Amino acid sequence: MRESCAMGDPGIIAQPNPARYCFAPRAMTGMKHEQDPTPGATPERTMTKPATPPNAPQPETRLVHAGRKPTHAHGFVNPPVMRGSTVLHPSIAAKAEIGRKALEPVENYGLMGTQTHFALEAAIAEIEGGLRTQVTGSGLSAITVPLLAYLRAGDHILVPDSVYGPTRTFCGGLLRRYGIETSYYGPMTTAEALRPHLRPNTRVLFTESPGSHTFEVQDIPALAALAHEHGAKLFLDNTWGIHHFQPFLHGVDVSIQALTKYPGGHSDIILGAVTVNTAEDWHWLRMGSLELGNYASPDDCWLALRGIRTLLVRLKAQEQAALRIATWLHTRPEVARILHPAFPSCPGHAFFKRDFTGACGLFGVVYQPQYSAADVVRMIDGLKLFGIGASWGGYESLVLPTTGTIRRTEGTGVFEGEMARFHIGLENVDDLIEDLDQGLALLRGG
Ligand SMILES: Cc1ncc(COP(=O)(O)O)c(C=O)c1O
């Protein structure tokens, strides 16, 4: 019977990847994609992005040019948005040839990407310092797609207690239903203390640094070494650390970005990206993404590409504003503690100083224990310049109470006082401080 090509089936045939059978010898042994080539060829573990030469332009310069080819845009500075499903091929032979290039940024069928996706992927790979990037439909799917791509029934995964809530929901929901077990560990657990918790079937050591809401900074190089020693992969949700934490210089295998945050920068898109740094990791990620039918809106990709041109300017301004505001809040008697990696009281501050080049504009506050949840709500409701809403990374300031929304298994990151999370935007800092000042009066006045 002739193999049917269903409507929209691009006829993907994976490029042979000789390295597939040679990495992560224990953990990945026996895993095969349907399209796997014959095993046995030479490893390509070394096929990573070459280190940036010392005389290369600085990141600001590289980001202006990343993924941009004015020759592809009829001379205009920005490329057009390219939408599409069907790609017409000049012949059956040409179509078959393209079908063999599922791992390449070529137009075969819309689901596999357009020039708009490929341009954004090149720019994110540049920011993350990796070999290849896959864009995904949301930040959350930048977490779920690679997990599903790498894991199989019977596997075990280690996840920090401070992980983004929906990641925890995914692990306890879909992953569990598919026979994959999750164990949680305290984000500050040392590699030595974690070693006995890696099982023969532990395939992924997941990290998120700093942690969601509580901002613990993890010792990524040590955890990566532990994972590799065990034949497991080190995944990092690097959303907070965009630009300031270079994942592949610190041993990460799979780096996750919610592009919804700073790359989007204007609170009007939902998008994610996963970056890897070896040919074999790219094979797993790309084939898994295609099998899952992952897709990102080209309009959102275009907006993210546009956002990236000003990313570093915004990040710098928001980092400085957030530090000024956090420092001011720190002096206030209503505040017990600031949860910000740049503060020495933050767990993992030493790793932040060692591994990061800066911060973004998101941090937390723990109020003195005498203030109730109702006091915090009164303060937040009374703020005039801070929006009340989920997400962060846009140009506007936001606030949310976080106590009660934080789920923990290992009892980490629990404080006596009520907590709130602030995201600092591009407003004037003095205006924001004035607003917080009157907000703190409302907190006290209950
Ligand atoms: C650390 C982190 N990762 C991932 C996500 C998910 O991003 P998205 O909202 O695009 O699904 C978020 C969203 O808040 C986040 O804070």
Residues 89 and 176 in one domain: yes
Per-residue pLDDT at 151: 98
Distance from the alpha carbon of residue 353 to the mean position of ligand 1, in angstroms: 24
3-state helix, strand, coil in the chain (%, to 5): 35, 15, 50
Cβ within 8 Å of residue 142, ≥6 positions away: 136, 256, 257, 258, 259, 272, 273, 274
Per-residue pLDDT at 49: 65
Residue where a domain stops, chosen among 308, 330, 353: 308
Residues 303 and 316 in one domain: no
33 has pLDDT over 50 = no
Mutate to test the pocket of ligand 1, among 239, 274, 362, 406 (most ligand atoms within 8 A of CB): 239
Residues 322 and 292 in one domain: no
In a domain, 100, yes or no: yes
In a domain, 73, yes or no: yes
Per-residue pLDDT at 162: 95
In a domain, 3, yes or no: no
Q: Residue 212 CA: which ligand 1 atom is closest? A: 1
Per-residue pLDDT at 67: 87
Per-residue pLDDT at 324: 98
Distance from the alpha carbon of residue 272 to the mean position of ligand 1, in angstroms: 8
User: pLDDT tens digits, residue range 117-139?
Assistant: 999 999 999 999 999 999 999 99
Per-residue pLDDT at 294: 98
In a domain, 5, yes or no: no
- Residue 52 DSSP one-character state: P
Per-residue pLDDT at 334: 98
Cα 400 to chain center, whole Å? 21
Residues 281 and 426 in one domain: no
Distance from the alpha carbon of residue 166 to the mean position of ligand 1, in angstroms: 8
Q: What is the mean pLDDT of residues 413-423?
A: 91
In a domain, 168, yes or no: yes
**Torsion sign across C-alpha atoms 123, 129, 130, 134:** negative
Residues 317 and 440 in one domain: yes
Distance from the alpha carbon of residue 258 to the mean position of ligand 1, in angstroms: 5
- Atom 9, ligand 1: residue with shortest CA distance: 139
Per-residue pLDDT at 400: 97
Residues 295 and 316 in one domain: no
* Average pLDDT of the chain, as a whole number: 89
Q: How far is the first Cα of the chain from the last one, in angstroms, to the nearest whole number?
A: 76
Residues 43 and 181 in one domain: yes
150 has pLDDT over 80 = yes
Distance from the alpha carbon of residue 75 to the mean position of ligand 1, in angstroms: 35
Residue where a domain stops, chosen among 252, 286, 308: 308
Quick one: which of 210, 215, 237, 240 has its CA closest to 366?
A: 215
Domain with residue 57: its CATH number is 3.40.640.10
Residues 253 and 295 in one domain: yes
In a domain, 2, yes or no: no
330 has pLDDT over 90 = yes
Residues 153 and 104 in one domain: yes
Domain with residue 407: its CATH number is 3.90.1150.10
In a domain, 130, yes or no: yes
Pairwise CA distance, residues 221 & 274, whole Å: 19
Per-residue pLDDT at 46: 40
- Atom 14, ligand 1: residue with shortest CA distance: 391
Q: What is the mean pLDDT of residues 249-259?
A: 98
In a domain, 1, yes or no: no
Distance from the alpha carbon of residue 201 to the mean position of ligand 1, in angstroms: 28
Q: Cβ < 6 Å from ligand 1: which residues?
A: 138-140, 164, 212, 237, 239, 258, 260, 270, 272, 391
Per-residue pLDDT at 197: 98
Q: What is the mean pLDDT of residues 288-302?
A: 98
Which residue range(s) make up the domain with 61? 18-308
For residue 111, what is the enclosing H or E element? Answer: none
Cβ within 8 Å of residue 401, ≥6 positions away: 373, 376, 377, 380, 418, 419, 420
Q: Please spell the DSSP secondary structure of 150-200, one letter per residue.
A: H--TT-EEEEETT--HHHHHHIIIIIHHTT-EEEEE-TT--HHHHGGG--T
- The number of domains in the chain is 2
User: pLDDT tens digits, residue range 35-74?
Assistant: 433 222 222 334 566 667 778 899 999 998 888 877 778 8
Pairwise CA distance, residues 418 & 403, whole Å: 6
Question: In this structure, what are the phi and psi dihedrals at residue 276, rounded to the nearest 5 degrees?
Answer: -130, 170
Per-residue pLDDT at 13: 45
Distance from the alpha carbon of residue 139 to the mean position of ligand 1, in angstroms: 5
The model's confidence at residue 5, banded by pLDDT at 50, 70 and 90, is: very low
Q: Which one has a higher pLDDT value, 29 or 119?
A: 119
Residues 78 and 181 in one domain: yes
Mutate to test the pocket of ligand 1, among 144, 274, 391, 406 (most ligand atoms within 8 A of CB): 391
**What residue has token string 């992952």?**
294
Taking the whole predicted model, whether its pTM rises above 0.85 is answered as yes
Q: What is the mean pLDDT of residues 22-26?
A: 29
Residues 243 and 343 in one domain: no
Per-residue pLDDT at 414: 78
User: pLDDT tens digits, residue range 380-395?
Assistant: 999 999 999 999 999 9
Q: 20-24, 116-120, 304-308, 372-376: lowest mean pLDDT where?
A: 20-24
Distance from the alpha carbon of residue 143 to the mean position of ligand 1, in angstroms: 9
Q: Residue 391 CA: which ligand 1 atom is closest? A: 14
Q: What is the mean pLDDT of residues 7-31?
A: 36
Q: What is the mean pLDDT of residues 23-40?
A: 36
- Atom 5, ligand 1: residue with shortest CA distance: 139
Residues 155 and 221 in one domain: yes
26 has pLDDT over 50 = no
Residue where a domain stops, chosen among 308, 342, 373: 308
Per-residue pLDDT at 2: 36
User: pLDDT tens digits, residue range 182-210?
Assistant: 999 999 999 999 999 999 999 999 999 99
Share of the chain above pLDDT 70, in %: 88
